Amino acid sequence: MIRYDLRCKEGHAFDGWFRSSDGFEKMRAAGQVVCAQCGSGQVEKLLMAPSVSKEAAGRERPLAPKPGNEAEAALARLRAHVEANSDYVGLRFADEARAMHEGRSEHRSIHGEARPAEARKLVEEGVPIAPLPFIPRRKSN
């Protein structure tokens, strides 16, 4: 894997991991490399020094990088709150939410996944749901 420092046309800096230089170029040409802050697909590689690990190899690293701005920090707090205070029901979300709404199941806080058609049907039925601004951890890199 190759890590590149990237910058969008608006000047937002971020990084990305790619299988190869060719892989990066193919993804960029297909519009799959976009800025997380503004959504711009006009992205360029920045000059980078090679990464050579010496003493850092023995040090413990944090599991996840610290949020880079207030929006990322707020999203991280929201994710932590949702995960700590609700049950993840996965692809059973629509069935579980409907069962609670109809009184067939005990009310509790849940989060999970639903196909767009399932979510639309829940809204049409009056089931109180809301989309979350993040994907499940097991589906993110």
Is 39 in the same domain as 75?
A: no
Is 40 in the same domain as 82?
A: no
Query: Does the residue 26 lie in any domain?
Result: yes
For 41-76, the pLDDT digits (tens) are: 899 998 876 766 666 556 676 666 666 788 888 988
Query: Does the residue 118 lie in any domain?
Result: yes
For 6-26, the pLDDT digits (tens) are: 999 999 999 989 888 898 999
CA distances from 51 to 1, 2, 48, 54 (A): 12, 10, 9, 10
Query: Does the residue 105 lie in any domain?
Result: yes
**Residue 125 is part of which domain span?**
70-132
Q: What angle do CA 115, 119, 124 make, to 5 degrees?
A: 150
Dmax over CA atoms of the chain, in Å, equals 60
CA distances from 62 to 9, 65, 66 (A): 30, 7, 9
Residue 136 banded pLDDT, cuts 50, 70, 90: confident
Radius of gyration in angstroms for the set of CA atoms belonging to the chain, rounded to a whole number: 20
Report pTM: 0.51
Is 79 in the same domain as 127?
A: yes
Query: Does the residue 75 lie in any domain?
Result: yes
pLDDT of 54: 64
Query: Does the residue 20 lie in any domain?
Result: yes
Report how many domains make up the chain. 2
- Residue 43's H or E segment, with its range, is strand 43-45
